[in-house]
Structure 1
Amino acid sequence: MTGPGRAHHQRPRARPPARARVPLKRLFRVASIACGVQFGWALQLSLLTPYVQELGIPHAWASLVWLCGPLSGLIVQPLVGHVSDRCSSRYGRRRPFIAAGAAAIVVAVLIIGYSADIGWLLGDGVRRPRAIVAFVIGFWLLDVANNVMQGPCRALLADLTGKDHRRTRIANAYFSLFMALGNILGFATGSYSGWHAIFPFTTTSSCSINCANLKSAFLLDIVLLVITTFVSISAVQEQPLNTRNTPECSEEPQLQLDHSQEAFLWELLGSFRYLSLPIWIVLIVTALTWIGWFPFLLFDTDWMGREIYRGKPGEGQNYHTGVRMGAFGLMLNSVMLGLTSLGIEKMCRKWGAGLVWGVSNILMSICFVTMLIISAIASNMDFSNDGLPPDGIVIAALVVFAVLGVPLAITYTVPYAMISTYTESLGLGQGLSMGVLNLAIVIPQMIVSLGSGPWDQLFGGGNSPAFSVAAVAAFASGLVAILALPRRQADKPRTHH
């Protein structure tokens, strides 16, 4: 029987229940994984550029070792974002990738920490080509593993906050806060020179005191990463993606997943012409910002060791003293990063995300110019205090490192919140949305990795040429952000009926 008679007996279709709002304390727990991940990044950024030069790779080519980071980010993060958006595992979409990435990081840091021992077992002598090969393999695996984790971590927070833009900014501020904490712990660990005495088994015939300190630091990294990964992935019970759109029930507030039209990497690249103007501006500002940041992240402690303490890798203790002082400066940087993260949401609501981002990038440019001035002053000073630089020069360098924590907090927060909001209307999954932004990060990093070492060598072998380019790029990104990005953004999207 058809017609009105039958329709009269049909029950009206029930509206799907509204998704429970995830408590802020749960977002806080999920974001805690950033502490474990960033602890390892801090060790990588502060210790590995100097260490790779100790193994025998010249300064002019040291930046090429870092090429894997942007390369893997270009390929791995969009791929993982795409696959995680479609993942139908009973453990959820994001958590399997987070756990797999953590396991890969553990393997990678063990290879890096024991690279000198591996080279010795394989027959290294005075020259250490096998140790270099082991180090590079571990280093590249670490970058791949970090990219496997980072996209799903950010996407999980975006899944939890949904279309609530204010909570999205809060979640990213939590993430930035834990990144700051991980940086503080990591850089403090890297600046301490006594780990070899606490863990005496790390010192071997092929692994000197400096090597043993690095090895011990990475062992601590493993412990912290395992703890924070467990805390994070146990904080939320992801609802499995059901291909027939019949979500399973749970007593826990779960993620109601919007499985909309995702595009794979090549489809995404082909659809770039459809991106709105605000998205393009965010991507352009992000690219210029990372042309500014990457030379600093590559050579910050090397700059302190070479140009402030006038040391060279493997020659005396001045260089190593400078590297440890640089790690201490980065710890101060992370303290400022954490403090700034607490106020980002309020600043963006008051002045607008575009203005906050632009002003912070101009501050970053001023800091890089200041570093160039400090380098010039230090090169013309007489080091009469046992060959060490005057306290005033060291304090000035540390102040610059600390102030740079303010724009770094903005970089780690605002672009992610903005891209998550702007790409929402395109129907991209949040995993792939993070991949979109990542393209604007990794391509500039590839350019810097390929060019900064030879560029520096061309102008005398220091780090000043790369920092000059960084200052110009940071200033340009600040102007574009201030002039072109919207000043205000609504906390909640408009509803169309």
Structure 2
Amino acid sequence: MKKQPRLNFWQIWNVSFGFLGIQMGFALQGANVSRVLSSLGADLHHLSLFWLAAPVMGLIVQPIVGGASDRTWNRFGRRGPYILGGAIIAALAMFFMPNAGIAVKIMPPLVFGAVMFALMDGSFNITMQPFRALVADMTPEEQRNTGYSIQSFLINTGAVLGSILPFVLTNVLGVSNVDPDGGVPSSVIWSFYIGGGMLLLSVLWTVFRTKEYPPEEYAEYKGLEVVSKEKKEKASLAGFLKLLKETPKTMMQLAVVQFFSWFALYLMWVYTTYALAQHSWGCSIDDVSSKSFQDAGDWVGILFGGYSLFAAIFSVVMSNLANRFGRKNVYAISLLLGGIGYLSTYLFSGGEIIHLNLLITQVDVPSSASLWLFSMVGVGIAWAAILAMPYSILSDSLPADKMGVYMGIFNFTIAGPQIISGIIAGEILRYFFDGEAIYIMIIAGVSMLLGAISVAFVKQNKAVKL
């Protein structure tokens, strides 16, 4: 087997740079889709059902795209065609979703918004899955921790930019965050335009600045046999069930951790706006058109930008910590801090309005809302680890010629808990908590703590140090 060459820092950077734009899109989605759907007429208790579009699309798309990208090679490379194609569709969906009113003659705006949400998330998955495999393709084993840590840094940098964009447009540039007709605010619409443009530009950078290895060269580096096209196609039709049967034990063990982690994350993305609006601003369940609710929505962007910033900072040192203390230890402690972060939000409610200087602008918020930033420190550390550690642990256990399809199958462990969360969360909120969304954050905290405990049962291959 020929030794795979090491990449310099900027080569590894270029491999993952497209994730900057993808995560801007994801961040805008995470912080604003509940707000958009509410503006279009969605009920609080049904929001989690609308959000099911995200994990369902991932469940369908990622294994298919992963397997297809394992068998692809053309002028754009192996993973490149899927990364670029998904980015184009995602950008178009981002341009259309907040403008659901244009489709009123075709279908109700809420239905159009939900369809665009599903299309947007599905195309995010088309683009994102090959990126995971691309890092494993292009980096030798001794640079795997570094590759996924840089990817985590870029993901969280993009998330910071996407999360704070509506807030910046409103509080710095003066774009309105309230629509006089009760529709989607202009600040959100323009944020989706900017996010879609950045997504396309960053993905184009990766596609044209990263030269993937041709099949023969890749096979030499990974110790693989070069398989004919006909044989690959036959295997792709007949071998999926066999692949499931041969799933590495490490993947199955990580699936338990993933279940608790992503169950919690889904709850946060769907309900933070309502939890904060009710708990700090004192909004009622149906008060979705008020300025207080929209101000809370803007502040959620700051909070999500905050946890992404903390995640980006932690990503800088995470690789060294994993090499020194072990991936599992770093992973478990990170999830523990995330659980504590979620639980702590309950402590911060109400309070007088205070004036904050955020350097780029000044804003008045309830004192408790500012304290939620401390909760986001733990959430950010957990998020950084969730984005990197499972893939770093898993990639050492996967055959190189099936990296894409197994990474796609691994997405079941992300989509599954979100689907379960989406089905039951609304009913739990309705029948147990009388619409008080802060208690959903408590459930998220407990779930993340269970994830931290589950890391202890993961058996991994020996980590390769830098």
SS in 1 for 2:7: coil
Q: Equivalent residue for 1:395?
A: 370
CA shift for structure 1 position 135: 0.7
Q: Equivalent residue for 2:270?
A: 298
> What amino acid is the match of 2:255?
L
Contact 1:73–1:147, Cα closer than 8 Å, also in 2:
yes
Q: Distance in 1 between matches of 2:338 and 2:259?
A: 15
Unaligned runs of 5+ in 2: 356-362
**Residue among 418, 423, 427 paired with 2:398:** 423
Q: Distance in 2 between matches of 1:382 and 1:171?
A: 44
SS in 1 for 2:212: coil
SS in 2 for 1:412: helix
Are 1:182 and 2:158 an aligned pair? yes
> What amino acid is the match of 2:418?
Q
Q: Distance in 2 between matches of 1:178 and 1:31?
A: 7
Moved over 4 A (4+): 16-19, 195-200, 202-208, 245-248, 254-271, 381-386, 388-391, 483-488
Q: Distance in 2 between matches of 1:357 and 1:227?
A: 32
CA shift for structure 1 position 188: 1.4
Q: Distance in 2 between matches of 1:203 and 1:296?
A: 23
Q: Bigger shift: 283-292 or 27-36?
A: 283-292
Q: Distance in 1 between matches of 2:353 and 2:319?
A: 48
- Shift of the 47–277 alpha-carbon distance from structure 1 to 2, 3 Å rule, reads same
Q: Equivalent residue for 2:295?
A: 321
Contact 2:178–2:294, Cα closer than 8 Å, also in 1:
no
Are 1:161 and 2:139 an aligned pair? yes
| 1:210-233 CA-partner distances (Å, limit 9, x unpaired) | 522111111111221122112111
> What amino acid is the match of 1:194?
T
Contact 2:397–2:461, Cα closer than 8 Å, also in 1:
no
CA RMSD of aligned residues (A): 3.3
Are 1:100 and 2:72 an aligned pair? no
Q: Distance in 2 between matches of 1:470 and 1:275?
A: 29
- Shift of the 255–230 alpha-carbon distance from structure 1 to 2, 3 Å rule, reads farther
Contact 2:254–2:458, Cα closer than 8 Å, also in 1:
no
Q: Distance in 1 between matches of 2:196 and 2:224?
A: 32
Q: Equivalent residue for 1:82?
A: 67
What is the aligned-residue identity percentage?
20
- Shift of the 173–131 alpha-carbon distance from structure 1 to 2, 3 Å rule, reads same
Are 1:371 and 2:345 an aligned pair? yes
**Residue among 414, 419, 423 paired with 1:450:** 423
CA shift for structure 1 position 412: 0.6
Q: Equivalent residue for 2:22?
A: 37
The structure having more radius of gyration, on CA atoms, is: 1
Q: Equivalent residue for 2:360?
A: none
Are 1:130 and 2:108 an aligned pair? yes
Contact 1:419–1:437, Cα closer than 8 Å, also in 2:
no
| 1:71-109 CA-partner distances (Å, limit 9, x unpaired) | 111111000000010013232211111110011012111
- Shift of the 142–315 alpha-carbon distance from structure 1 to 2, 3 Å rule, reads closer
- Shift of the 199–50 alpha-carbon distance from structure 1 to 2, 3 Å rule, reads closer
Contact 2:341–2:377, Cα closer than 8 Å, also in 1:
no
Trace 1:246-261 onto structure 2 (pairs within 5 A).
none
> What amino acid is the match of 1:137?
V
Contact 2:157–2:309, Cα closer than 8 Å, also in 1:
yes
**Residue among 186, 210, 227 paired with 1:212:** 186
Q: Equivalent residue for 1:231?
A: 205
SS in 2 for 1:185: helix
- Shift of the 359–18 alpha-carbon distance from structure 1 to 2, 3 Å rule, reads closer
Contact 1:37–1:146, Cα closer than 8 Å, also in 2:
yes
Contact 2:38–2:44, Cα closer than 8 Å, also in 1:
yes
Q: Distance in 2 between matches of 1:461 and 1:179?
A: 32
| 1:177-225 CA-partner distances (Å, limit 9, x unpaired) | 111111111111022353997789x9999785x5221111111112211
- Shift of the 385–488 alpha-carbon distance from structure 1 to 2, 3 Å rule, reads same
Q: Bigger shift: 430-439 or 333-342?
A: 430-439
**Residue among 341, 350, 355 paired with 2:324:** 350
Q: Equivalent residue for 1:140?
A: 118
Q: Distance in 2 between matches of 1:207 and 1:101?
A: 32
> What amino acid is the match of 2:15?
V
Q: Distance in 2 between matches of 1:60 and 1:316?
A: 19
SS in 1 for 2:436: coil
Contact 1:196–1:216, Cα closer than 8 Å, also in 2:
no
Q: Bigger shift: 305-314 or 284-293?
A: 305-314
Contact 2:354–2:366, Cα closer than 8 Å, also in 1:
no
- Shift of the 392–197 alpha-carbon distance from structure 1 to 2, 3 Å rule, reads closer
- Shift of the 73–257 alpha-carbon distance from structure 1 to 2, 3 Å rule, reads farther
SS in 1 for 2:108: helix
**Residue among 413, 416, 427 paired with 2:388:** 413
- Shift of the 230–296 alpha-carbon distance from structure 1 to 2, 3 Å rule, reads same
CA shift for structure 1 position 346: 0.7
Q: Equivalent residue for 2:358?
A: none
Are 1:222 and 2:207 an aligned pair? no
| 1:322-354 CA-partner distances (Å, limit 9, x unpaired) | 111111111111111110000111111111111
CA shift for structure 1 position 409: 0.4
Q: Distance in 1 between matches of 2:313 and 2:271?
A: 24
Are 1:171 and 2:147 an aligned pair? yes
SS in 1 for 2:209: coil
**Residue among 39, 45, 50 paired with 1:65:** 50
> What amino acid is the match of 1:181?
T
Contact 1:63–1:450, Cα closer than 8 Å, also in 2:
yes
> What amino acid is the match of 2:188?
L
Tell me the TM-score normalized by structure 2.
0.87
Contact 2:280–2:351, Cα closer than 8 Å, also in 1:
no
| 1:257-287 CA-partner distances (Å, limit 9, x unpaired) | 8767987598445544444433321222112
Unaligned runs of 5+ in 1: 1-15, 124-128, 249-253, 493-497
Q: Distance in 2 between matches of 1:443 and 1:147?
A: 15
| 1:284-325 CA-partner distances (Å, limit 9, x unpaired) | 211221112211122223322232212254342111111111
**Residue among 247, 250, 265 paired with 1:278:** 250
Q: Equivalent residue for 1:6?
A: none
Q: Distance in 2 between matches of 1:266 and 1:333?
A: 43
Q: Distance in 1 between matches of 2:39 and 2:97?
A: 13
Q: Distance in 2 between matches of 1:17 and 1:384?
A: 64
Q: Equivalent residue for 1:362?
A: 336
- Shift of the 54–177 alpha-carbon distance from structure 1 to 2, 3 Å rule, reads same
